[in-house]
Structure 1
């Protein structure tokens, strides 16, 4: 397999993230950034949200619309991308507007930006790479599969919306699963 073109852009707090061994990783979680571009995602990723550890929310890999892959957190560190699943998983973020900027508004739950062919081709390559370097990797899930929490809508307190909907209805699960040995999360 040819080398996967990765741009390494470690987050400022990467060494403060919990260390882990590759054998502990059995799950990939697919996300969309729900932000307008990679630069905005980087701004969010660099924010320190957990003062005790000096870390914030982030994925391991970010795939821009043109297929460029950036690695912000090494696999040997636990990124904060999915509550309850971080120590065992790799977070992959696809740049996509999702519900931006009104994530929790009941009147704005459509996720209508399609993923680009370049993103999906690089995602396939990245999944193949990860399967080759992570001996226990067997599962893949969407963030929406793992975080099913509902919260009060920001525009209507009488309605509830899903806290997380990514990667969303336009993510081509069948096509992605056809090209990987990973199996879709079923609550394992």
Structure 2
């Protein structure tokens, strides 16, 4: 992973239609970045999911702030000053980065399909490090980083056998190179 320069990486702005309905906040409220994987086949599927209105009373859905594709392309769906729905209980103080990765797709809660076997490509990890370095410079309180699995530890009934339970969230998963990332980016890993 590269250590990057002092310039921002290329980020394509593609705001979701409901961005203006998301609550705003000062950038000084953000001290945590959460790493996710999409658990979907590609960026187009992630966009479709992000566009869905899941909270009718607010007219908003669930989405990360930035998405990093397998080739390293970075897209912003929600600006940092808006509170996105990406991790239960932590949204007010965090931003979310989604890495395009199949994860457990399409059998998220099937107890027989819990292995997350798709590796994260070097181009994607390098772009993630560049984005994190940029955020570290532009978000004055940002000091912490966590995986979605570190913060949402709930277990749910397996879809194939309700007598078994599986992790509701297990991203970015066992193939995510935490040690390499933390060497490249000056953030402290947060765990509950």
Q: Fold-level match, TM-score > 0.5?
A: yes
State whether structure 2 residue 72 is matched by structure 1 residue 67. Answer: yes
User: Equivalent residue for 2:48?
Assistant: 43
Query: Any conservation in 1 of the 2:68–2:98 contact (CA below 8 Å)?
Result: yes
Q: What TM-score comes out, normalization by structure 1 length? A: 0.98
Q: Deviating runs (4+, > 6 A) in structure 1? A: none
State whether structure 2 residue 32 is matched by structure 1 residue 27. Answer: yes
User: Equivalent residue for 2:92?
Assistant: 87
Alignment deviations for residues 127-155 of structure 1 (CA, whole Å, 9 cap, x no partner) = 00000011100000000000000000000
Q: What TM-score comes out, normalization by structure 2 length? A: 0.96
User: Equivalent residue for 1:145?
Assistant: 150
Matches of 2:16 and 2:62, distance apart in 1: 10
Kindly state the Cα deviation for residue 2 of structure 1 after the two structures are TM-superposed. 2.4
User: CA RMSD for the aligned pairs?
Assistant: 0.6
Kindly state the Cα deviation for residue 156 of structure 1 after the two structures are TM-superposed. 0.7
Query: Any conservation in 1 of the 2:8–2:131 contact (CA below 8 Å)?
Result: no
Alignment deviations for residues 88-140 of structure 1 (CA, whole Å, 9 cap, x no partner) = 00100000000000000000000000001001000000000000011100000
Aligned residue among 7, 32, 57 for 1:52: 57
Alignment of 1:2-13 (within 5 A): 2-13=7-18
State whether structure 2 residue 119 is matched by structure 1 residue 133. Answer: no
Q: Secondary structure at the match of 2:174?
A: coil
Matches of 1:135 and 1:157, distance apart in 2: 45
Matches of 1:177 and 1:79, distance apart in 2: 24
State whether structure 2 residue 168 is matched by structure 1 residue 163. Answer: yes
State whether structure 2 residue 191 is matched by structure 1 residue 182. Answer: no
Alignment coverage as a number of residue pairs:
187
Kindly state the Cα deviation for residue 36 of structure 1 after the two structures are TM-superposed. 0.2
Gaps of 5+ in 1: none
Matches of 1:75 and 1:152, distance apart in 2: 34
Kindly state the Cα deviation for residue 158 of structure 1 after the two structures are TM-superposed. 1.0
Matches of 1:112 and 1:92, distance apart in 2: 20
